Amino acid sequence: MINFTVGPVQSTEEVRKIGAENVPYFRTQEFSEIMFENERLMKKFAFAEENAKVVFLTGSGTASMEAAVMNVLTKNDKALIINGGSFGQRFVNICKIHKIPYYEIKLEAGQNITQKELEEIPNEDFSALLVNANETSTGVHYDLQLLSDFCKEHSMTFIVDAISSFLADIIDMKTMGIDVLMTGSQKALACPPGISVMVLSEKAVNKIYANEVESLYFDLKPALEDAKRGQTPFTPAVGILLQINARLKAIDEAGGVEAEHRKIAALADDFRNKIKGMPFEIFTEALSPAVTPVRPTSAKAYDIFLTLKDEYGIWICPNGGELSDIVFRVGHIGDLTIEDNDKLIEALQDMQKRGLV
C-alpha cells in the first residue's frame, strides 16, 4: 500500500527498524539524554524561545488539545475558538466539557478566517484564542499571522493545534507569540501514533503552575517537573519516543525544518499540477502543503477512496459526515516521493478511463 493519508503516514526505514526492536527500560540516564535532545530539537524546529518547555504526552493529538484547555485556561477565562470543521468543533467540545466560557467563530467548510470575521466578534474581554492551524478535515490553512496580530493587540493567550501543520508549514512560535503549539507523532514527524507533543511558552508554563487541574494524568505540572531530568511522570510510549528522536535528528542533518518544508511543498505542488485537467477541483484556496482537499466533479469522494484502496493498493484520506461524498484529501507528509505521486495519478487516470471518476 502507498499511504497518502494525513496520519498515520509512511515512515522511513530507520524509524521502522526501531519499531521492530524490543522496547528498552527507560528510567535511565541514557533515555533522559534522548528526551533532552527531543526537547531541544522540537524547540528548534518550532522556533520557540530559549526558556520554552516541551511536554511529551502518551496519547493522540486530542490528548494535547484537552490538556492545553485544562491546564492553561480556567473558568475565569473566555476563549475565542475558530471553528471551521471537525477539529475546530473538537476545541468547542473540550471547552464545553471543562466549562470554559467560549465564543466560536463559525466558518463554512473550506472558508478561511479574514479580518472581516474578526471585526464581527462581540466586544467582549477574550483572554485566549484557540485555532487548528490546518483544519485537516477541509484542508484549510488559517492565516496565523492575522491571528497572531489579533492576539497581540488584545493581549490574548495564543493556543495553536499544529498537529498536521508542524514541519509542513513554517510556524515561528517566538515571532507569532504562540503560547501553546501542539503536534502528533503520526503526522509530519512520520512515526507511529501514540505521542502528542506540546511546546509551551514561558507564559503558558506560568499559567500551568498557577492552575489547579482536577486530573491525575492530564495535570502538566508533574510532566514539567519530570522533564527537568528527562523523564515523564508515567510510563510513556518509549519506542515511539526513540523513533521521534531518530526522525528529529534525520531532519536536522538533512537541513532542518526549512528543508523539510521545501520537500513537502514540492510534493504538494507536483500533485496539484498533475491533477489539472482532471475532473477534480481543489476545495479551498487557503492551502497548507501538508494536504490537498479534492472535490470530484463527476463522482463521489468516498467511492474514489474505496476503489483506490481495494483495487489499486493506495490509501487517500476520506472524510466523514456531510463531506464524505464531497471531498477526499491527499496528504503530502511522511516518507513519500514524486514517484509515489505518479502512481496515484496513474491510478486516477485509469479510473477516469473506466468512468469511475
pLDDT digits (tens, 9 = 90+) for 79-114: 999 999 999 999 999 999 999 999 999 999 999 999
pLDDT, tens only, 194-212: 999 999 999 999 999 999 9
Rounded to 5°, the CA angle 183-131-336 comes to 40
> Is the predicted pLDDT of residue 124 greater than 90, yes or no?
no
Q: Can you tell me the distance from the alpha carbon of 237 to that of 300, in angstroms, rounded to the nearest whole number?
A: 38
- Cell numbers 496515484 correspond to what residue? 344
Residue 187 has pLDDT above 90, yes or no: yes
Task: State yes or no: pLDDT of 161 exceeds 90.
Answer: yes
pLDDT at 123: 86
HEC states along 12-63? Answer: CHHHHHHHCCCCCCCCCHHHHHHHHHHHHHHHHHCCCCCCCEEEEEECCHHH
Mean pLDDT, residues 31-50 taken together: 98
pLDDT digits (tens, 9 = 90+) for 299-342: 999 999 999 999 999 999 999 889 999 999 999 999 999 999 99
Give the pLDDT of residue 156. 98
- Percent of the chain topping pLDDT 90: 97
Cell representation of residue 134 = 490546518
The gap between the terminal CA atoms of the chain, to the nearest Å, is: 21
Cis geometry, peptide bond prior to residue 8 (ω within 30 degrees of 0): yes
Contacts 24+ apart (CB under 8 A), 146-149: 146/113, 146/114, 146/115, 146/118, 147/82, 147/113, 148/175, 148/176, 148/177, 148/178
Residue 150, pLDDT > 90, answer yes
Q: In this structure, what DSSP letter does residue 113 have?
A: P
Check pLDDT > 90 for residue 173. yes
Per-residue confidence (pLDDT) for residue 320, from 0 to 100? 87
pTM > 0.85? yes
As a 3-state breakdown, the chain gives helix, strand, coil percent values, each rounded to 5, of 40, 15, 40
pLDDT at 54: 98
Mean pLDDT score of the chain, rounded to an integer? 97
Question: DSSP assignment of 318-332, as one string?
Answer: ---GGGTTT-EEEE-
